[in-house]
Structure 1
Amino acid sequence: MSAPPVVLAIGGTDSGGAAGLAADVATLGHLGCHAACAVTAVTAQDTTGVHAVHQVPPPVLAAQLDAVLDDLPVAAVKTGMLGSPGAVRLVAERTRDLPLVVDPVLVATSGAVLGDDAVRRAYCDVLLPVATVATPNLAEARALTAVDAAARDLAARLADLGCAVILTGGPDWRPGRAVGTCTDWLCEPGGTPVAMRHPAVPTTADHGTGCTYASALAAHLAHRAPLAEAAADAAAYVASRLTDSSTWHLGRGRGPVSHLAPTHRVHQEDPA
């Protein structure tokens, strides 16, 4: 068996195990990649929110990046929470010549701020211009552009910075509410936004879906899939994980998306 492609995930930890590097490493492994990682921040986090953040000092982050990039044949890079302008600039400098998927984590689902205005400017000025593709959700796209516009228009605005954009869309689902489809908007620099629709999964066990989607996209790009194909496959993967977790009741808030292997089965003894 030949060696798998290596994907470097750069981001924060999630002590609840749903998002951040926990989601990245599991997803990349499921999709046939070897996951290397660099920790930008350690968070105290659960299904109800982010309670504390400890930023990793820049020299330690730089040492992690150098250790991976000097030793392993990295095929793609995925970034999540970066947390400081210095971290954004460092990542841009070290990864500018590699396929780069940027999940611009600025605000947690709970409302916790994970990147201030200086971080936002660093994303727009330094990182997105060298990225291959960015995967903001609607709130992140509005934060990056400082414009309250429709998803389609925001995708085009962000693509003007120089990278492709997949603005991910999800339904605001609550029990008892019907859900049909989600619409993502794919726009390449200089292009016209294209709607990519896929079935929605009605569940509140969805903490970590943004990290999971961006990691799945990076995995497919590492396997050399074209961008549109990689985006569709990443959306299908996330839908399968949401379906898996849709019956779970874990935690007091929005529960974790499933990171069990898609083919995982647990032996259950026959009742006596």
Structure 2
Amino acid sequence: MVNDFPQALTIAGSDSDGSAGMQADMNTFQRRNVYGISILTAAVAGNSYGIQASHPFPLDFVTQEFQSISDDFKIRATKTGMLADTPMIETVVDNLQKNDFGPLILDPVIITKHGAMLLEEEAFETLKQKLIPLATLITPNYFEAVKLIGVDIKNDNDTIKAAHALQNMGSKNVMLKGRHQDPTQSEVRDFILLEDGSSFWLSEPFVNTNRVNGTGDVLSACITAEVAKGSSISDAIRVGKKFVTAAIANQIEVGHKFGPVNHLVPFD
């Protein structure tokens, strides 16, 4: 029947080098056997050395993208990526409230894994107040979690408290990703707090490499794909953690500097 095949949506920018953004999401969707659909918010000119230029899309065009997708497809799960500024976040929130696009996986693209700020303060507050309450799952990295809760995270107890604070902001479930900046560390540990109050830790080996562009996109896209296929949030997170670890470990030599993870990694 029409629209029986699982469909997942990414609301994100286009990264011309393919390492992150819509391209990374779509590659991951395909690898996880769901049909990927995109609503683009911006286009970025960049490569493995960095970003050279970016161009946000008009808000009325973004709204039309939402309408066009809603008129034809059955979206079973949605994820967001970088939304740039307050007007874009507000446009996305307004359209998500008008359309049933399934559970929302919020990758809060606020700060890079190295600590560089990606959102202006006003846009950060808008994301915090308007988008997080719509989230089925939020997947912040260490720096993003610290920014959101306003308190440093120094140990496991702090991590657990931070996850509860994020849940109190409105997200039903929380995956607080562990740090991976220390080349001497042996593992990356994430803490997961579920809507029913249960929680658990996930650990996978740390891979010391500069081929890590798009790790957050691939993780959240994989989780979104699994949810679109009918998996629980808990099971989807477990698959996502293993998938992104495999994507990092099975390196591909693309680009001269900070290369992408392997979106098409062999994975059962």
- Is TM more than 0.5 here? yes
Deviations 1:139-196 (A, max 9, x none): 111222232234332222111112111111242254xx4x422111112357365322
Residue of structure 2 in register with 1:152 after alignment? 160
Between the aligned partners of 1:206 and 1:45, the Cα distance in structure 2 is: 15
Cα distance change on mapping 1:54 and 1:109 into 2, 3 Å: farther
Residue of structure 2 in register with 1:80 after alignment? 81
AA partner of residue 220 (structure 2):
A
In 2, are the aligned partners of 1:173 and 1:204 still within 8 Å (CA)?
Answer: no
Deviations 1:111-159 (A, max 9, x none): 6543111111111111111111111111111222232234332222111
Residue ranges of structure 2 left out of the alignment (5+ in a row): none
Between the aligned partners of 2:166 and 2:46, the Cα distance in structure 1 is: 29
| 2:130 matches 1:129 | no
Count of aligned pairs between the two proteins: 258
Secondary structure class of the residue paired with 2:41: strand
Between the aligned partners of 1:136 and 1:44, the Cα distance in structure 2 is: 25
In 2, are the aligned partners of 1:160 and 1:189 still within 8 Å (CA)?
Answer: no
Percent sequence identity is: 29
Cα distance change on mapping 1:155 and 1:253 into 2, 3 Å: farther
| 2:173 matches 1:169 | no
| 2:183 matches 1:182 | no
Alignment of 1:1-272 (within 5 A): 3-96=4-97, 97=100, 98-109=102-113, 113-149=117-153, 150-163=158-171, 164-174=173-183, 177=184, 179-189=185-195, 191=197, 193-245=199-251, 248-260=252-264, 262=266
Moved more, 149-158 or 97-106: 149-158
TM-score (norm 1): 0.87
Between the aligned partners of 1:200 and 1:105, the Cα distance in structure 2 is: 22
Cα distance change on mapping 1:237 and 1:6 into 2, 3 Å: same
In 2, are the aligned partners of 1:201 and 1:242 still within 8 Å (CA)?
Answer: yes
Deviations 1:43-73 (A, max 9, x none): 1222232232211111111111111122100
AA partner of residue 186 (structure 1):
I
Moved more, 77-86 or 96-105: 96-105
Between the aligned partners of 2:186 and 2:65, the Cα distance in structure 1 is: 43
In 1, are the aligned partners of 2:28 and 2:264 still within 8 Å (CA)?
Answer: no
In 2, are the aligned partners of 1:7 and 1:33 still within 8 Å (CA)?
Answer: yes
Secondary structure class of the residue paired with 1:229: helix
Tell me the C-alpha RMSD between the 2 structures: 2.1
AA partner of residue 67 (structure 2):
D
Between the aligned partners of 1:59 and 1:113, the Cα distance in structure 2 is: 27
Moved more, 9-18 or 194-203: 194-203
AA partner of residue 84 (structure 1):
D
TM-score (norm 2): 0.88
In 2, are the aligned partners of 1:120 and 1:143 still within 8 Å (CA)?
Answer: no
Secondary structure class of the residue paired with 1:125: helix
Moved more, 36-45 or 147-156: 147-156
